[in-house]
Amino acid sequence: MRNCLNSRLSRSRNNLLIRLYFLLALTIYIAICVNYVSRLSGRTVISSDDRFSLTCEVSGSIQEGETLSEALILSGLPYKDAFEIVSALSNLLDMRSLRPGDRFFARFSHNGKVKEFRYERHPWNGFNVKRVGDTYIARRDSVPLGKCLRFLKGEVKNTLWESMINQKIPPVLVAKLSDVFSYDIDFLTETRNGQKFKVLYEEYLYKNKPVRIGNIVAAEYITENRAFWAFYYEDPSGKKGYYNSNGQALKRTLLRSPLNYSRISSYFSHRRLHPIFKVYRPHLGVDLAAPEGTPVVAAGSGKVIFAGWKKGFGNYIEISHNRGKIVTCYGHLSRFARGIKRGKRVNQGQVIGFVGHTGYATGPHLDYRIRINGKNVNPLKYVAPPGPPIPRKYRDDFATKTRLAKMLFDEVI
């Protein structure tokens, strides 16, 4: 009887172990499935259209660092189909322009072949790929957006950015307005409570819902001393930009500042007490304090004539503008942007380096200097020459459009 009892206990333990092993295997299987599904950027839906055909649809999105081929293969598309679809799309879509979050949809026929494919950045802007025989053919599929004009106005309290964001104004529009007036107004240091702004801008619509901000058509910024106007104009030759009421270009040879700084830690002076050596010496630039790693941009388009280590300046860049008549200098950089070296041509606003405190520096900042015909000038007082004005043959057209913009301002105020 004891042997019988032991036999039953043994069988019970074996059954329990079998169940535990089964549960463990099931758990591992589920974990593997969940992990695989999590790698898929979309979902797979299978639907039966009728008794004789079965259609499978796969949807997904581009993840950070992924190519389209990788995303398609991870979503279950056969290697051959994935590469043929990408090849067909390459004729219309620059694969370097893909962004995380861009979506794609694939539909399989009953024989397992990809029948149709769609890639889209937005619901109104996409590309369709269709299988014709053994070939994939791609075409652009875009829906024209509606466009309307919007007007807004406001008053500065603390900063322009804070004032506009508090009015629920889209950040992209705040940035556009700052850029338009950036050559005349330093919004980091020159904004004051009570200053006013008015903006007439384009808004694009999809199914009657706003989806994108277009150009600022006209804008006015009123300070204590004067009113600044900006008008967007594209002439019949295709040249476009922002101009004041007299047709003078707002864009200048140099930006007011090559970075977004938090404060000026040292001003232009011919006799300044050096913070490290404790002796008086000239400081022929301005020190713009900013966090380590803040991007520094080229103040104007030109050619890099020096990029390297320069004694007390540490990592240092010089850029020549206007055939060498103007030279801008950037010191104490933590590092240079990729590709920045002597002889490199750069565009205005292009990142050339990052704020640091290399060389003789007590903290992270940019030592920014300007030389005009070999002589240092105060960057805070220097007014760079403007770009070319509206050509004389287009002045009447510009004046007509300017009057129309001002009339629109008057109607909504």
- Give the CATH number of domain 43-142; options: 3.40.50.1100, 3.10.450.350, 2.60.120.1440, 3.40.640.10: 3.10.450.350
Query: Residue 133 has which token pair?
Result: 């025989």
**Quick one: pLDDT at residue 47?**
43
**Quick one: pLDDT at residue 133?**
85
Q: Is residue 155 pLDDT above 70, yes or no?
A: yes
- Give the CATH number of domain 263-377; options: 1.10.3720.10, 3.20.20.70, 2.70.70.10, 1.10.1670.10: 2.70.70.10
Answer whether 380's CB lies under 8 Å from 268's CB. Answer: yes
- Which residues pair with residue 191 across a beta bridge? none
The whole model's pTM is what?
0.69
Q: How far apart are CA 57 and CA 43, in angstroms?
A: 8
Find the farthest-apart pair of alpha carbons in the chain and give their distance in angstroms, rounded.
117
What letters, b where the CB count within 10 A reaches 16 and e where it falls short, cover 372-381? eeeebbebbe
- Who wins on pLDDT, 134 or 30? 134
Percent of the chain topping pLDDT 70: 86
Q: How far apart are CA 168 and CA 150, in angstroms?
A: 14
Q: Is residue 247 pLDDT above 60, yes or no?
A: yes
Domain ranges of the chain: 43-142, 146-243, 263-377
Least confident of 75-79, 186-190, 310-314, 387-391: 186-190
**Quick one: pLDDT at residue 65?**
86
CA count, 13 A, side-chain hemisphere, 129: 27
Asked, colleague to colleague, whether 146-243 and 263-377 share their fold, the answer is no
Confidence of residue 413 (pLDDT cuts 50, 70, 90): low
Q: Is residue 372 pLDDT above 90, yes or no?
A: yes
The structural architecture, per CATH, of the domain 146-243 is Roll (3.10)
The full DSSP string for 50-81 is ETTEEEEEEEEEPPTT--HHHHHHHTT--HHH
Answer whether 289's CB lies under 8 Å from 301's CB. Answer: no
